[in-house]
Amino acid sequence: MDNFKVYYGEYNLLHWLKLILRGDIELPSYQRNFVWTEDKVIKLMDSFKFGLFVPPVVVGTYFDNGQERHYIIDGQQRLSAVLLAYLKKFPNKGFELDDKGQMADDNDDNDVSAEDDDKVDIRNWKLTEIQRVVKNYKDREGIRQLLKAPYYKDLELPEDLTDDFFDKTFIGFSYIKPNQQDEIKQKRYYSSIFRNINVSGQILSPQESRSSLYWLDSRLEKFFKPACSDNIVIDNNRVDFARYLALVAEFLCKYKRSNNGEILYFTVAKGYGTRVKPYEEYIENFVYHCVGERESTTFLTFGEMFQSNEEAANSVNEVCDLLLKIRNNTKFVSIIDADYYLFGLIFWKLYMERDFDKALFDKLNEDLAERIKEIKKDAAYQKRPSAVGRVRERLYESVCCYKTILVD
């Protein structure tokens, strides 16, 4: 690319460790948590020991408000593993997320699938946790003393790895250097690299991959993935808040543009929800639209939906707070339940800025519970709740239910 130069080389493991511990290289915010197991860390060390190929690390320079920073674009799992092996420590249960670490999908079918074999133990830990506690580079034992139980446990390696091992073992790198300090172009380029490379052997979930798109406009990260949504869980999986934002945003567009008052809700997400065009592609289009990368007539402009990025981020927090007031619980047993509670709430409160009569919350709960109970009598419905027609139905009915408790 004309706007970037790429350099190639290799550093020994000790040098990589110094770069990490001094904070000379860091993770961009969209990078996911460390997902490797202890066995994978040991296998990586064996690969080094036996001279096997280890994929190179990709590092890129990024200018943030004129300040030069060096981001690990690809390879954080490997570098984190090297760091943990060097320190002979491993993040313990104190860093583990509970089951909310996984995103909920559109399927309520609890049958075990082949994909379950590839699930990993995701911890709420990144190498930044060690960077945070180590202000200056110290000797190995000094750093180890900082990594205490219950947050860390000893990593049992087959044999002791000496400084000589880390000094004589190398990892290659590709270093990307931009020719200009255009932050937008840099973000586009690095985001595309992150979404397209898969050299680490650990496949990204759609939501993890999508996080790099939020980074295209960091002001909207808290809109697409608000911290408060971490507490909204579906069958012990964290809700995919961006899914709701996208589907309701298209409904809003049809609502605003309807001439005779008829809302063409049955065309929301038209053509999506299939293997050829999965919902993830639909959600990505919404994100691209909001950050200004690809305009879409499917949605209103972001300026038509919100006055500012700050308003958007603050409004989603209000939605989360209101959900808790409505049902005193943010945990759902299925996506069917979550859809009925969230679609209408997001439409009227977030996008339409309407208020509800709190005295009618009990009535709303009764109406929604009755409708959910009726739907769940159909076993076929529960088997495929993600069918686009059923999602549209829940969207429309949820909006209608919430309409009955609006303040005039």
Calculate the CA 333 to chain-centre distance.
21
Stretch 185-211: mean pLDDT, rounded? Answer: 67
Tell me: pLDDT of 191 over 80.
no
DSSP letters along 224-268, please? Answer: HS-GGGGG-EETTEE--HHHHHHHHHHHHHHHHH-SSS---GGGT
Provide the pLDDT for residue 106: 57
Residue that is written with structure tokens 């969207």 in the block: 395
- 3-state DSSP assignment of residue 142: helix
Closest by CA to 6, choosing from 64, 70, 58, 53, is: 58
Cα radius of gyration (the chain) = 24
Tell me: pLDDT of 144 over 50.
yes
Higher-pLDDT residue of 322 and 101 is 322
Phi, psi (deg, nearest 5) at residue 113: -110, 170
Strands 170-178 and 57-64: parallel
Tell me: pLDDT of 399 over 70.
yes
Closest by CA to 110, choosing from 335, 375, 277, 274, is: 335
Do residues 16 and 85 touch, judged by C-beta distance below 8 A? Answer: no
Provide the pLDDT for residue 38: 92
Residue 31 — pLDDT band, cuts 50, 70, 90? confident
Which residues share a beta bridge with 57? 173
Q: Using CA atoms, how far apart are residues 56 and 67, in angstroms rounded to an integer?
A: 26
Tell me: pLDDT of 241 over 90.
yes
Distance between start and end Cα atoms, the chain: 57
pLDDT tens readout for residues 257-295? 886 556 788 899 999 988 878 899 999 999 999 998 889
Higher-pLDDT residue of 224 and 4 is 224
Provide the pLDDT for residue 188: 76
pLDDT tens readout for residues 374-383? 999 999 998 8
pTM of the model: 0.64
pLDDT tens readout for residues 67-116? 889 999 889 999 999 999 999 999 986 565 444 445 565 544 433 233 33
Stretch 36-45: mean pLDDT, rounded? Answer: 92
Residue 202 — pLDDT band, cuts 50, 70, 90? low
Do residues 401 and 340 touch, judged by C-beta distance below 8 A? Answer: yes
Stretch 307-321: mean pLDDT, rounded? Answer: 93
Tell me: pLDDT of 33 over 70.
yes
Mean predicted lDDT score pLDDT of the chain: 86
| Most confidently predicted of 114-128, 141-155, 346-360 | 346-360
Stretch 117-142: mean pLDDT, rounded? Answer: 72
Provide the pLDDT for residue 100: 44
Residue 216 — pLDDT band, cuts 50, 70, 90? confident
Q: Using CA atoms, how far apart are residues 70 and 175, in angstroms rounded to an integer?
A: 9
Q: Using CA atoms, how far apart are residues 230 and 103, in angstroms rounded to an integer?
A: 10
Provide the pLDDT for residue 99: 42
Tell me: pLDDT of 122 over 70.
no
Stretch 345-356: mean pLDDT, rounded? Answer: 97
| Most confidently predicted of 56-70, 117-131, 348-362, 375-389 | 348-362
Phi, psi (deg, nearest 5) at residue 123: -110, 150
What number of other Cβ atoms are within 10 A of residue 67's Cβ? 8
The answer to whether the peptide bond before residue 178 is cis (omega within 30 degrees of 0) is no
Residue 195 — pLDDT band, cuts 50, 70, 90? low
Q: Using CA atoms, how far apart are residues 199 and 56, in angstroms rounded to an integer?
A: 9
Q: What percent of the chain stands above pLDDT 70?
A: 86
